[in-house]
Structure 1
Amino acid sequence: MNKILVNKSVCLLILFLLIGPKWSVGQELVKEEVSFSIPKTLYFTGEKIWIDASVLQNGKASSSQVVYAELLDRQNQSVYLEKFLLEEGSVFHFLKIPGELVSDHYLLRVYTRISPLLAVENGLKQQFVTVFNPQKPPKVSLDSQARFLEGKTGSSEIRLSKHRLSPGETLTVNLSSAAEIKEVRVALRNPYLEFDSQIPSSKIYDSEVKGELIPELFGHVVHAQVDPRQVDTTKVYFLSVHGVESALYTDRPDRDGALYFDIGGLKHWNFVIAQADQNESLLDFELQSPVVKTQFKSDFEFPELVITADEEAFLQQLLLSSGIQSFYSEKYAQEPVPVVTGFVADRTFMLDDYTRFESVETVIKEYVPMVSVRTRQGKKEFRSINEFGAVFEKNPLMLVDGMPVFDSDQLAAFNPQRFERLDVLARKFFLNEQEYEGVLSFSSYKSDVGGFPLPSNAIFSQYKGIQLPIELKRSIAEMPDSSFGDFRSILYWSADPLRQLPSGQTLEIQTSQVWGAFEVVLLTLSKEGEVHEERKYFTVENNP
C-alpha cells in the first residue's frame, strides 16, 4: 500500500530540534568503529560480493542506521554504491557487481555517513577486489607471469591433512590457535592480487576526510544543495521517493543553500523526484552523493590487472563458478519499520470498483462528492468541500504517488487507467509549515506515478534507497544439487548466518570442481582486542 510520508512524529521532531540534521566538524560525537568481512576477492560482473559488516560505538551497537558499501576505481571515482540497513549495529547483505564495470581491481570501502569524518582509520575500512568483465577484458600479456597459484605453506597455527587435493576430495583443517577464533574462511586464492587483506586508511589517503556530519539516526538522509549566492531560505522544496511505497518530504534551504530530507522510516525506493513549490525552476538544485570524498596519497597505486593467454581455462571455470548464486529471499514483504504518516484520508476510493472514465475530471465529478471541479478563466480547478458544505477557495494539495502536481489542468485531463486508488481529505491540512485546503492523492498500481508526465521543472533521479533485508535459504558455501555440478569458489565462511565457527578445532571441507590455489584464512582476537590474521594454502589439481 502506498503512503504519503508528510510529517515526523512528535518524538522525532523534538529530537531533531535538539540535535539538528547535521553537525559541524569539531563538535563532540562518539566515534564509530567499522568492520567488515568478505569471503573472497575475485569476482565477475553480475556476481554478488557478500558482506558481513558491523558498526560499534564504545563496543556497543552504533546509533547509525545505514552503512554504505562502495566500489572505488583507480581514478578515485566512485563507480557503485549500496546502502544497507543496520540492525543492532550489524548487517549481512551483498553488493551485486554492475555489468558495465571494466575488468580491473577496485577498492571496496565500507563506512557510515559520519564514521570517516570522526575517525578515518577506524571509520573507513577497505580492501582490493578484482572484477572481470568478459565484455570488457583487461590487458593481455604475451609473456607468462609468475602467479601465486601455489605459494608458500603459510601459518603454523593452521594444519592441513593434505596440501594437494583432487576435485571433490575432503580436506581436514586443524586450528591450533590458543586465541579466540573470530572468523574462518576457505576460498579460492586471488592470483591477481599479491596483497588482498584490508588496507589501513593511513596508507591510502593523503589527509583527514573533510565534509559535513550528517548523522543517520532514523534512516537515510538525502542531501541537496542550491546556490548559496542567491539562496531563498523561505522557498519550499519537495522530494518524493518511489518504490515499494511512495512518500513525500519537504525542506527549506539553510543560509548555505543546504537541504536535508530525512527519509526516516521508509527504507526502500528506486527513484526520487525533486520539485520547487509551484513548479518553479530547479536550475540551481543539485542532489549530493553520500559517498565519502578522499584523496589518494601520491605514492599509493592500484596494482595493474594483466592476464596471459594461458590463463584462459582458469578464467573460464571461474566464469562458470560465478553463475552459481546462493538462493535468498526478502526478509520483509514491506518496509521493516512502520512508516509514520500524517495523512489520514476522509475517504478512499478504489477505482477498480467504479466504471473507468478517460479523465480525472470525470472521475471526480461522477464519484467524489467532497471535491468539485470548476473552470475559471479557461483553467480547471479542484475545490474541497468540507463536512458542513463549505467550499474552499484554493486547489487542494494534489499528489500522484506522493509527487506534488501543481498544474490542475494537466491532472484534470489525465487518463487515470493506471491509478489504483484515490485518497481524499476535505479539511485543512498542514505539511510541515505549509497549509493546504484539502488533499487529493492518487496512487498507481506500481508506485511509479502511473505514467503521469514529469512536471516541466522537476528533476528525476535514479537515487536508490536502502536495500531490503535478505534471508538466506541456504549457505552461500553449500554444495549445490548434483545436477548443476559443484563449481564453488567459496568452500566455507563462518560469517555466513547459516554457518558458525567450528565447535572444536577441526573442520572438514569438501573441495569442488574448481581448481587452483585455495587458502584457509583464520582471524583470531587477542586479549587486547586486536585482530590477527593467519593463512594456509592448498592446491586443488586440474585433473583431466
Structure 2
Amino acid sequence: MKTVISTRQILLPILLLLIGTGYGYASYQERVYLQTDKQFYIAGELLWLKLYTTNTEGELSSFSKVGYIELLNDSIPEIQVRLDLTDGTGNGWMELPVTLPTGYYRLVAYTRYMQNEGEDIFFEKKISVVNPYQPQETRIQPGTENHSFKLPNRVTPNHIITVSADKASYQARNKGVIRIQELPSDSISLSVSVAGTDPIQTTTPSIQEWKESLFSKDPISFSTKIIPEYEGPIYEGQLIDRSNNQPATEYGIVGLLSFPGENIQIFNGKTDKNGHITFYTGLTHGKKEMATVVLNTSEKSYRIDLQSPFALHRSKTYQPIYLDSTWHQYLLQRSMGVQVMQVYTGDSINRIESAPPHTFSKPYKSYILDEYTRFPFIEEILTEFIPIARVSKKDGKRTFSVLTEKMDKFSTQTLVLFDNIPITDQEQIYSYNPLLLKKIDVYLGHYIFGGQRFDGILSFSTYKGDYQGIKLDPATQLFNKGCTQATRYFYTPAYEEEKVKTLGKPDFRHTLLWIPTLQSNGQKEMTIPFYTSDLPGEYTITVEGVGKNGTIVNATHTIIVTN
C-alpha cells in the first residue's frame, strides 16, 4: 500500500513540544547582517543583496531557512523580499521602481524567529535613492561644499585581509583582476562587489561595528510565540465565513495551500479554536502564485485569507536629500545609463531562474492528450481513453474518481487538481474546453493531507500551467506574493576579444561585479576577473565575509576607469 504523508506532520509536533517546554529553541537568539552592492541608487536600478544569519556570537547559523528584507519609506514598505537561506547565507535583489521618490530609505533585515525579540534587534541600514525622472523641487542647492568621494572610515575587522587590482587605472571595456590575500584558514562566505563611488556617501554599520553590537546589547527575554522557519517558509491565515466576510472560529477545518503550475506541490493545515491556520512549506523558491482551498465538510462556506509574513515597523523618518547642483551632469549620466541598459540589454539584465521542478511522486499513468483523438467534452475523454478514472454522481453533482490501488473498485475520495489547484466544485471541470488541456495524470494509492485521506489523485494540466479559462470556486483564494525569491543572474559581458569590445551595444553598468556566493574554502589567496564598462570614474572594490566560526573580513580598494 502506498501512503504519502508529509514529514512536516511528524517533525512539527516534535518542534512545538521542544519550544513549548522551553528546551533548546526558546533560549536561542538569532542575528542577521545585510550587504548591498552599494549605498546610492537611481530609481529603476537593481539593488543587489546578501544576507548572513548568525547566532549572538557572530557565527554563521543554519537555524532559519528564510530571511526577510524590506525597503521602507518611514514605516511603509516599498519592496518586500523573502530569501531562501542555506548554511546561514542567502542572496537576492530588489528592482527599484522608476516611480520611487528621491530620498533616504530604510533597508531592514530579519528572520521570522527574530520577531519574538522585537524590531530593536533587526538589522537596518540607510540607502540613498535619487529619481531624476521626477521634479526635485527645493532639493537642488548650489555647489558650495566639498563632497568627498572616499568611503567613510571603517573599524578594523578581526582578521586583516588585503584587496588589490592588477592595475590602478583601466580603459573602458577592459579586463581587470581582483586579488584577495591573507584570507584566514577557516572557510569564509564572501561577497565581492565593484561599483561606482558615488557623491552621496551614506553612513551605514560596517560588518565590524555590527559584530561589536552583538556583544554590547543586553540579552532580551522573550516568550517564544513565533516558531522558526527551520525547514522552509511558513504561511499563516484566517478562516473567513463567506456569508458575512467575518473571521470564523470553527476548529479542525482542513485547508490546502498549493502552487499553481505543472508540478504537484501541496501543503496542509488545520484551523485551531480561533480559526487560525498555519501551513508549513518547503521548496517554494521562485514560485509566483499560491492558492488556498478549504476542504469543508460542513454546510457553511469558508475561505482562507493569508496574512502577511512581514513584521510591522515603527515610524522613523530621515531628513530629505539635498542634491548639489554640481552633480547634475553625473546624475544625468547615471539615469540615461539605466534607461539605455534596459533598451539594449534588457534580456540579459532581466534573466531570472525558472522555479525548480518539485518531485511529488510518479503518476501511475500519464495521458498526453495530443497523442489521442481530441473530443469536445471532458467526460468523453475519460470514457474513451482513461479506464482507470470515471465520472460519478454524488448529491446530484458529477464528481471524478479513480481506481483504488488494488484495482478492485473506484475511490470515493479522489483529490482533483487543475494546474495543481485543488478543485472542490468539480462541475467546473466538466464544462472546461479540453482542447486547452495538455495532459491528465492519474495517481493511485493513499495521500493524506491534514488528516484528510484521498484514495488517488486526478490531475489536469494546461499547456502553460496557468489555469487558463477555468472558473474557480469562490472558496479558492489566489495570492501573488510571499514566496521566496527566484535567483536573478548578474549581467556582465566578457570583453576577452577585440571584436567583442567594438560591438555597437552600449555598456553603462554602474555595478561592474557582484558575486555574493564566493567561498574561500581555506584558500589564503583568490583572484577574480571583472570587466569595466563605458562609464568613467572612480570605482570601489568591496570584499566582506563571515566565517562559520565567527571570523569576519572586510576590505576595500579603489580603481579608476577612463574613456
Distance 1:424 1:482 in 2: 56
Q: How does 1:283-362 map onto structure 2 within 5 Å?
A: 285-296=304-315, 300-307=316-323, 311-322=327-338, 324=341, 334-335=356-357, 339=359, 341=360, 345-362=363-380
Distance 1:347 1:374 in 2: 20
Residue 243 of structure 2 corresponds to none
Equivalent residues of 2:267, 2:279 under 8 A apart: yes
Q: Does 1:451 align with 2:447?
A: no
Aligned residue among 10, 14, 17 for 2:10 = 14
Residue 414 of structure 1 corresponds to 432
Please say which of residues 267-276 and 174-183 is displaced more in the overlay: 174-183
Distance 1:313 1:117 in 2: 47
Counterpart of 1:68, as a letter, is: Y
SS at structure 1 position matched to 2:54: strand
Q: Does 1:51 align with 2:49?
A: yes
Q: Does 1:237 align with 2:250?
A: no
SS at structure 1 position matched to 2:273: coil
| Post-superposition offset of 1:318 | 0.8
| Post-superposition offset of 1:303 | 2.9
Distance 2:390 2:510 in 1: 65
**Residues 137-182 of structure 1: CA distance to partner in whole angstroms, max 9, x if unpaired?**
5445454255664357976999999xx9897599x99999999798
**Residues 373-411 of structure 1: CA distance to partner in whole angstroms, max 9, x if unpaired?**
25678643334444555345x462221122121223222
Please say which of residues 19-28 and 483-492 is displaced more in the overlay: 19-28
| Post-superposition offset of 1:232 | 1.0
Q: How does 1:3-402 map onto structure 2 within 5 Å?
A: 7-9=5-7, 12-20=8-16, 28-57=26-55, 59-74=59-74, 76-118=75-117, 124-141=122-139, 143-144=141-142, 146=144, 149-150=147-148, 187-192=195-200, 194-197=202-205, 212-226=225-239, 230-243=248-261, 245-278=263-296, 281-282=301-302, 285-296=304-315, 300-307=316-323, 311-322=327-338, 324=341, 334-335=356-357, 339=359, 341=360, 345-374=363-392, 379-386=397-404, 389-392=408-411, 394=412, 396-402=414-420
Distance 2:306 2:473 in 1: 18
Distance 1:446 1:514 in 2: 41
Distance 1:432 1:36 in 2: 37
Equivalent residues of 1:517, 1:539 under 8 A apart: yes
Distance 1:153 1:458, change over 3 A: closer
Equivalent residues of 1:242, 1:271 under 8 A apart: yes
Distance 1:519 1:295 in 2: 34
Distance 1:513 1:127 in 2: 30
Distance 1:503 1:267 in 2: 34
| Post-superposition offset of 1:271 | 0.8
| Post-superposition offset of 1:504 | 7.7
Counterpart of 1:406, as a letter, is: T
Counterpart of 1:15, as a letter, is: L
Equivalent residues of 1:477, 1:491 under 8 A apart: no
Distance 1:184 1:485, change over 3 A: same
Counterpart of 2:277, as a letter, is: L
Distance 1:500 1:93, change over 3 A: farther
TM-score (norm 1): 0.76
Equivalent residues of 2:415, 2:457 under 8 A apart: yes
Residue 159 of structure 2 corresponds to none
| Post-superposition offset of 1:35 | 1.9
TM-score (norm 2): 0.74
The runs of 5 or more residues in structure 2 that have no matched partner are 157-161, 241-245
Q: How does 1:412-491 map onto structure 2 within 5 Å?
A: 412-425=430-443, 429-469=447-487, 474=492, 481-483=501-503, 484-490=505-511
Distance 1:45 1:486 in 2: 18
Matched residue count: 519
SS at structure 2 position matched to 1:456: coil
| Post-superposition offset of 1:534 | 7.7
Residue 535 of structure 2 corresponds to 514
| Post-superposition offset of 1:478 | 11
Equivalent residues of 1:188, 1:519 under 8 A apart: yes
Distance 1:125 1:286, change over 3 A: same
Distance 2:48 2:321 in 1: 22
SS at structure 1 position matched to 2:292: strand
Distance 2:317 2:448 in 1: 55
Distance 1:213 1:475, change over 3 A: farther
| Post-superposition offset of 1:86 | 1.9
Distance 1:438 1:490, change over 3 A: closer
Equivalent residues of 1:34, 1:115 under 8 A apart: no
Distance 1:396 1:176 in 2: 59
The runs of 5 or more residues in structure 1 that have no matched partner are none
Distance 1:503 1:490, change over 3 A: farther
Distance 1:449 1:370, change over 3 A: same
Distance 1:272 1:504, change over 3 A: closer
Counterpart of 1:489, as a letter, is: H
| Post-superposition offset of 1:360 | 1.5
Distance 1:63 1:222 in 2: 18
- Taking only the aligned residue pairs, the percentage that are identical comes to 21
Please say which of residues 128-137 and 515-524 is displaced more in the overlay: 515-524
**Residues 44-98 of structure 1: CA distance to partner in whole angstroms, max 9, x if unpaired?**
3442222222213462432221222221112x01221222222222233322324
Distance 1:395 1:115 in 2: 42
Equivalent residues of 1:360, 1:414 under 8 A apart: yes
Distance 1:518 1:402, change over 3 A: closer
Equivalent residues of 1:476, 1:496 under 8 A apart: no
